[in-house]
Amino acid sequence: MYMTQQSMLLCAVFVPVVGAFFLPIAGRISLKFRNLFALGLVLASFIFSMSLLPVALSGKSILIARQMGMGINLIFLADGLAVFMACVSSLISAIIILYSFGYISHYDNQNEYYSMVVLFLGSMMGLVFSANLILLYIFWEITAITSWRLIGFFREKEHVLRADKAFLVTFFGAVVMLIGFISIYQTTGTFDLTPGAISNIAVLLILAGILSKSATLPFHTWLPDAGVAPSPVTALLHAAILVKIGVYVFARIFIATFTVSAFWHTAVPIIAVVSAIVSGGAALVETDLKRLIAYSTISQIGFIFFGLAVGNTMAVAGGLLYILMHGFAKAGLFLCAGIIEQNTKIRDITKLGGLITTMPVTAMAFLLCSFSVMGIPPFGGFFSKYMVFSGAISSGQLWTSAAFLIAAVLTILYLFRVFNLVFLGEPKTSRAKEGSFIMVASVAILTALSLLGGIFINYPFNFVQTIVSNLSGIIR
Amino acid sequence: MTDKILLLPIIIPLVSGAMVLLFSNRFRRAIEMISLLAASLSLLVSIRLFKENLSFSLPWLGQGLEFSLKLYHFSWFILLAIASFGFLIILYSILFMRNKAYLNQFYSYFLLTISFASGAVLADNLLIMLFFWEGLLLTLFGMIAIGNKNAFKTAIKAFIIVGITDLCMMAGIILTGHLAGTLAISKISLSLNGLGALAFIFLMIGAISKAGSMPFHTWIPDAAIDAPLPFMALVPAAFEKLLGIYFLTRISLDMFQLSPGSWVSVMLMAIGAITIVLAVMMALIQKDYKRLLSYHAISQVGYMILGIGTAVPVGIVGGLFHMINNALYKSGLFLSGGCVEKQTGSTDLRELGGIGTRMPVTFICFIITAVSISGVPPFNGFFSKELVYDGALERGWIFYAAALIGSFFTAASFLKLGHAAFLGKISEKNKGVKEAPFLMLAPMIVVTLLCVIFGLYNQLPLRHLIQPVLGGIRMEGHDFSGFPGNMKLVLATVAVLIAALLNHIWGVKTKGSGLKAVDHIHHAPILSGIYDRAEKRYFDPYDMGLKIADLAAKIAFRCDRAVDWLYDGLAVKVTFAFTRQIRKAHTGSYSAYLAWSLIGAILVAVFLIYST
């Protein structure tokens, strides 16, 4: 069957979006069928995104545009940046769904789980390919609603309150951002993403939305609280979808489309570094395993913002690469945390210990993913960290770079603290067994991807280079 | 010969290291054979590459980031040394590690260490070098972690210390690249002022930390107890010194022009002098064979840093010569410790004693390596130390004095070690001890012989390996081989050695045993208090650093909670207060509602009128 590239783009978005609604029906047929169907939808989205890769790598882009009323046009654009993000998100989501087969089989409401997760991913795909601000906003809010449902998945009172908090904070940010979009409309007369300069007020408003979605200081505290969600959901939130929306939209709006005043190239790194250090420090104190990893995400997101905001070629490329490498490693860490949580029923790391003897694979995967987050070669995290720093220093960000060095030190400290408390020492719990095969396998896949991403660094590196060089008209 | 051959020293151990990991421990012979084969192949390649000038470059990441390797007169002998030590210690490990667990991991990390170390030495691009250099962190972690049951914690300590200094190194490399506009090592030439000095200090931290200098040393004595012994002989004794000092020399001589007048030079010498004295003082009171040696591994690096820090030719040559000498006698000493451990089952000096006659070969090797490290003529350590003394004296008597004090305590602690381990009364348990097997003796004998050769024929290493590194111009026509020119310094050295011997004899006579020979120093007033605190780790910079980090983290956590209160506390309170007020307006009275609606309608009308 011959498909045009336009229809591939639409399939990448709408196969999961529409398919999500059929999952509850599939659940009536057979649970196994439903599970595979969900995986199939996400994999299909991944494959369709991959099929756009050759075009994106050649520096061209694919555009679908339908004019509608009031400036709300249906415009989908697949350029390098969008395809990159789509591939990363759908790949990690697919692995997380695979893991869910093992994890979620113990709980009720599985139909809801799978359809929400697939819809979540679908709206992410819609968001990355959107080239109209209102369209982007709509997908943005669908992710907010699905994540609200998923965070409160276990339906305990406290969990629902936490889900509400996450929703309210991100919704508040999104509305502020919407006002920013309208102010752009007032100056440019269109919601379509067209290059031009935008006012500082618009930047500030949009930034509030982005920071709240990407859980950056001072809008970050919903993310640790969202740790009550099922582990695969937290992995999705942290590694593949939710917090990556903010950084993606940052890249899309402030780097790829509009020009902003030089002030923001100084201000955003400062916000990022404060966020990275405060959350890195909090991670060193926190004792709840999942909250701790959440703080780690906030800290690492700071590095991504740093790279993107500094704005020179090397740093932006590093920031994008960071999205990829952090995605693999952080998903791996959360899925390990899920195995630990499910098999010991404990999340307080001070009450755990000695698990390396009974969970050797999980322990190794946790350690190796930690190495990648710390940025140790040959893991992928090394290159992304190096590039961010290198780009930042060559554009004169000496003091912020020095402060980020502290954040990098904290990263090493808190990750080893977790590893030490959870896996080493004397066992404090009854004999916990290793996770099921499929769960351990998904963790191993993510670990392997972290390693391969570093060894074969030239492929992702060249990809982000191509993306950035096509953006370079806008970059300073 | 194609220049692709430069990849071999990296690829051979890399591939075999990965291969070994696939075998389970049941295939012990296969693991050993592959490792030995890979190590001997690497050795052959490095011998073949000796005295070749080659460079190799492969387009890699664009943006001037090329996978470029370069072999020249400095990397020749470092590469050869890496391959030789790798080969000898693998040979030794075959018997030593035979009944230990995690055999596949041990050999795999071992081979990967050889691969990464070769890569770091060959790299001609700072990013490539950093890649291999930091990669060593993983194998370091792995090799320590497979030791005894405390080993994981020690591995974490080592990882954190070295990991943080590697971050400094990364910062230094990025700064250097930014200032020089290139990452190609052979093209970098920077001056030592402003940002250049900052870049140098960052790089220097990376280099001296790798070498094991103070204050980045505290994992080494812990690893000596917890990690497998061949690791100690390979990494802290040999590889880390080779790499750290190699890189320190490169940044001091090639990338930055370190001159004798600069404050950086004084700083380096101070670090060196302090490291020499403090570490050797700690070595003196140790009661464990391996732990005692590990403090010497730290102390000796002080001589190298002091030598290079002098920035005068005689000091630099001395520092480099000392690097290679130290690698020889220190790994020899660790290997002798391994023989003792293997044959007696212990390295605790309180349980040893009197085994010298039962393990004569080990004892002789120990004696030769111990007199080498103590700087007794005509062994190799004597010649390199004399050169360092000469350089230090040229820069200030205080540095020379520190080095000389270091010598006294080095000699004293080795007299104690040898006396306590090999002489004296033998314990009941050790009556049946036999000499170690030949396979373990052979590597030890080889390095011991090299200690003798590098001493008696010091022209060989000095003229062919070390002096070319500085180049003809910098050497100013000097030749430092042969017997030291300054007889006063030699006499001072001999006097110090004799003092150490007299001190030992007196100590034995008063306290009654070799082990207690230095107790009068250990328990001297003032010193004993400091020693007590040091033994309780009050002075461990690692622990202090962790405490500071903990404090900072607590503050950060409070900040985070304060922000959270804005949402969970303040926002909720404001919302409820607001809705309470609004609720008051909802009285249920139709007239009031009508009035609200009317006001609203008027406002809309006004807005519409004025907006058009």
Cβ-based neighbours of B21, under 8 Å, separated by 6 or more: B104, B105, B108
Taking CB atoms and an 8 Å limit, are B553 and A410 in contact across chains?
yes
- Residue B426's identity, in one-letter code, is I
Closest chain B residue to A161, measured at CA: B568
| B550 shares contact with chain A (CB less than 8 Å) | yes
Q: Which residues of A260-270 are buried (b: 16+ CB within 10 A; e: fewer)?
A: beeebbebbbe
Looking at chain A, which residue has its C-alpha nearest residue B556?
A: A278
Mean pLDDT of B341-349: 80
Mean pLDDT computed over every residue of chain B: 83
pLDDT at B474 over 50: yes
CA-nearest residue of chain A to B555?
Answer: A281
Q: What is the distance in angstroms between the Cα of B215 and the nearest Cα belonging to chain A?
A: 17
> Tens digit of pLDDT for each residue in A215-236?
888 888 888 888 888 888 888 8
Q: Which alpha helices (H) appear in B396-486, and where do they start and end?
A: 397-422, 438-456, 459-461, 467-475
The per-residue pLDDT for A476 is 40
Q: Which among B135, B178, B557 has CB closest to A393?
A: B178
* Segment A441-456 mean pLDDT: 90
| pLDDT(B307) > 60 | yes
Q: Which carries the bigger pLDDT value, residue A265 or residue B186? A: A265
The whole-angstrom distance between B28's CA and the closest CA on chain A is 22
**CA-CA distance, A215 to A295, in Å (whole number)?**
10
Q: Say what the pLDDT of residue B63 is.
A: 63
Is pLDDT at A474 greater than 60 in this prediction? no
Q: What is the pLDDT of residue B403?
A: 84
- Mean pLDDT for A334-339 is 89
Which tokens is A217 given? 């200081």
The predicted pLDDT at position B1 comes to 53
Instruction: Report chain A's mean pLDDT, rounded to a whole number.
Output: 87
B375 contacts B497 by C-beta, under 8 angstroms: yes
Q: pLDDT at position B493, please?
A: 81
- Min distance A66 CA to chain B CA atoms (Å): 32
**What is the arithmetic mean of pLDDT over A187-202?**
83
Distance CA B284, CA B411 (A): 9
Residue A475 — very low, low, confident or very high, per pLDDT cuts 50/70/90?
Answer: very low
Of A284, A408, A419, the CB nearest to B549: A284
Q: Per-residue pLDDT tens for B117-157?
A: 988 888 888 888 888 888 888 888 888 888 777 888 888 88
Angstrom distance (rounded) from CA B509 to CA B505: 6
Reported confidence tier of residue A2, pLDDT bands at 50, 70, 90: low
DSSP one-letter code for B260: T
Of B138, B153, B555, the CB nearest to A376: B138
For residues A135 and A130, give the distance between their C-alpha atoms in angstroms, rounded to a whole number: 6
Contact B560 A281 (CB under 8 A): yes
**Sequence spans of domains, chain A:** 262-476
Tens of pLDDT, residue by residue over A128-152, are: 999 888 889 999 999 999 989 888 8
Of A282, A382, A461, the CB nearest to B61: A461
Residues on chain B touching A458 (C-beta within 8 angstroms): 60-61
Contact B556 A281 (CB under 8 A): yes
Give yes or no for residue A340 having a pLDDT over 70: yes
Q: Do B63 and A376 touch (CB under 8 A)?
A: no
- The answer, yes or no, to whether residue A46 has pLDDT greater than 90, is yes
Q: Does B134 touch chain A (CB under 8 A)?
A: yes
Position B62 confidence tier, pLDDT thresholds 50, 70, 90? low
Indicate the helix (H) or strand (E) that contains A75. strand A74-78
Residue A419: left if φ>0, alpha if ψ -120 to 50, beta else—which one? alpha
pLDDT at residue B278 above 90? no
Beta strand residue intervals within B29-173, DSSP E: 54-62, 65-71
For residue B300, the one-letter residue type is Q
Task: Answer whether A281 sits within 8 Å of B566, measured CB to CB.
Answer: no
The 10s digit of each residue's pLDDT in B384-437 is 888 888 888 888 888 888 888 888 888 888 888 888 887 877 777 777 778 778
Residue B290 has pLDDT above 60, yes or no: yes
In the block, tokens 């696939």 appear at B22
- What is the complex's ipTM, to 2 decimals? 0.85
